[in-house]
Amino acid sequence: MRHGAAALTGPPCARLINTVSNNVALARTGNAAELERFREVQRLCYECADAVAATLEPGVTEREACRRMRRWLRDRGVDDWLHTPFAWFGDRTAFQGFKVPTQFLPSGKRLEEGMPYILDMAPVREGFSADIGYGGVLGENRIWQQLDTDLAAYRTLILDLVRERRAFADIYAEVDALIDRQGYQNRHKKYPGRVIGHQVGIIGGPLPKGVGFPFGVRFLQTIGRELVKERLEGRSPLWNGARQSQHPPTPGLWAVEPHIGFRGVGVKFEELLVVTEDDAYWLDDDLPHVHRWAARETAQAAGGAAQAAGGAAQAAGGAAQAAGGAAQAAGGAAQAAGGAAQAAGGAAQAAGESAE
């Protein structure tokens, strides 16, 4: 992989596609200017997801949610796609009954109160791409809340294992093991190729922009080329648990999407992971799910502290009550002693009078 390339000048794709090798799907992690362009597109995706999620209400269909995402992105300069937007509502967030690829396409299913939803989009703007997954729920759903809380552990686990240079297939197995320990179902194995991730890069080439529904034509060209090239090198641009992923993490940009389910509720996140020759990091930590998990953890910590303070106050109250009881007992003992002394005085007086 090449590092330290010059900053972008002129049309961003024309020069790069002509001068950069096809290595790692044209993504160069040593070029800060390029990484910033990918970060901008990823943030655009999450802005879109936030905006469209705010418009969701009972009765909206998956197809309508996807139309809103496409329109929002097109209005902000998106000119191509890795894939067009997806939306899944209710038990479709857990891919219940999915057996053929066409079932992933947006349907006429309508959103209802208490339903989970997932918005997934992968736009391209001036050649730079991102692929994100955004989960939410309309109203309250305790299963979704617990799943989403537990999902945070996968972001930490995956990053730690990539930094250890564990084979992609082994990391996939570790994710499976965590899913089993939590008592959930692996839902990313339902994706084509059973992938938990795939490479992302600069999309261009001689083919015209267009969609071979739901994937962008130029993305299919890029990923096809990378499949051939990486296979010759004993690697794959698709990350799953198969033999083709039994290799150390390949430097580049990876869209990572762990997806778990339970009782018809599915939750996922998807974001870009930067893998270098000797390190890895998430492209951006300023993301909705990261903030949501942090806020929840803070609230839980505050609740625990309040509970501990309440317990301490209760213990202090008990101690004060015990001290009061002891004081009362001591007072009673003193009163009894005083009575005994008085009785003894009376007895002495009576004895004196008898002696007279």
Position 333 in a domain: no
Position 304 in a domain: no
What count of other Cβ atoms lies within 10 Å of the Cβ of residue 64?
Answer: 18
Position 347 in a domain: no
| Token reading at 329 | 């007992």
pLDDT recorded at residue 205: 67
Position 127 in a domain: yes
pLDDT recorded at residue 7: 36
Position 131 in a domain: yes
What's the rounded Cα separation, in Å, for the pair 127 and 12?
7
What predicted TM-score, i.e. pTM, was given to this entire model? 0.77
The candidate with the shortest Cα–Cα distance to 282, out of 290, 270, 274, is: 274
pLDDT recorded at residue 301: 86
Per the structure, how many domains does the chain have?
A: 1
What's the rounded Cα separation, in Å, for the pair 238 and 223?
9
| Token reading at 190 | 């339902």
What's the rounded Cα separation, in Å, for the pair 171 and 13?
33
Position 114 in a domain: yes
Residues sharing a CB contact under 8 Å with residue 254, sequence separation 6 or more, in sequence order: 197, 198, 199, 200, 239, 272, 273, 275
The candidate with the shortest Cα–Cα distance to 80, out of 122, 20, 38, 131, is: 122
pLDDT recorded at residue 13: 41
Q: CATH number, domain at 266?
A: 3.90.230.10
Beta pairing class for 238-239 and 265-268 = unpaired
Upper half-sphere CA count for residue 13 (Cβ side, 13 Å): 16
Hey, which residues does 180 pair with through a beta bridge? Answer: none
pLDDT recorded at residue 261: 98
pLDDT recorded at residue 348: 54
Position 342 in a domain: no
Q: Are 183 and 51 in contact (CB under 8 A)?
A: no
Position 73 in a domain: yes
Upper half-sphere CA count for residue 141 (Cβ side, 13 Å): 23
- CA of 114: how far to CAs of 93, 244, 324, 337, in Å? 13, 40, 52, 71
- Containing domain of residue 156, as a range? 17-297
Cα distance between the two ends of the chain: 123
Taking 70 as the pLDDT cut, the residues of the chain under it are 1-26, 205-213, 215-234, 305-306, 308-313, 315-320, 322-327, 329-334, 336-341, 343-356
Hey, which residues does 198 pair with through a beta bridge? Answer: 238, 255
The sign of the torsion formed by the CA atoms of 75, 101, 282, 6 equals: negative
pLDDT recorded at residue 28: 82
Q: Is 70 exposed, middle or buried (0-12, 13-18, 19+ CB in 10 A)?
A: middle
Q: Are 118 and 132 in contact (CB under 8 A)?
A: no
What's the gap between Cα 255 and its chain centre? 13
